[in-house]
Copies of this chain bind each other. A is one copy, B any other.
Amino acid sequence: MIFRGRFEYTIDPKGRVNIPARFREQLQESGQESLVVTNYQGCLYAYPSDDWARIEEKLSKVSSVDRKLNTFLRFFIGGGVEVVPDKQGRILVPPSLRSYAGLDKDVVITGMPNRFEIWSLTKWQEEIGRFEKEGFEDPELAREINSLGI
């Protein structure tokens, strides 16, 4: 499942964030009512619970010898929380995830293949700012993007 579009919402003092109506529809159509949210790359990743199950399965087969990989697993799996939208279509983001992603008021939700991401507005702007400034100057990246034929 691919999620498209970027949306701005506010997270309220209780820690609730709205999920874009379109995303909710997509979830319903695929017969899923819950999401798994976890932390990565400065933002929160939200997966439909079925997709998360597949990821979990793969991760559980990873050999846990490598210390760094192990740390990643701790962080990624350990961050994962299952959430169900309320009647208004909002999810409650637990404090640990909220503080990791620095969500306090304005948040950006952005679609990706397989998941969508929840960003604090300021972190999002930094992320995109970096791309817009450096991205076009990086010849390798430019070549890669060109090869996509967009």
A residues adjacent to B (C-beta < 8 A) = 2, 4-8, 36, 40-41, 45, 55-56, 58-60, 62, 66-82, 94-96, 110-114, 117, 127-128, 130-131, 134-135, 138, 141, 144-145, 148-150
Copies in the complex: 2
CB < 8 Å neighbour of A62 from B77, B81, B148: B148
CB < 8 Å neighbour of A150 from B7, B76, B149: B76
A-B contact pairs, 6 of them (CB 8 A): A4-B36, A5-B94, A40-B150, A55-B148, A72-B141, A78-B110
| A69→B150 contact, CB < 8 A | no
CB < 8 Å neighbour of A77 from B77, B80, B113: B113
CB < 8 Å neighbour of A79 from B6, B40, B60, B135: B6
Closest to A61 in B: B113
A42 to chain B, nearest CB (A): 9
CB contact under 8 A between A58 and B8, given known A68-B141, A110-B74, A111-B80: no
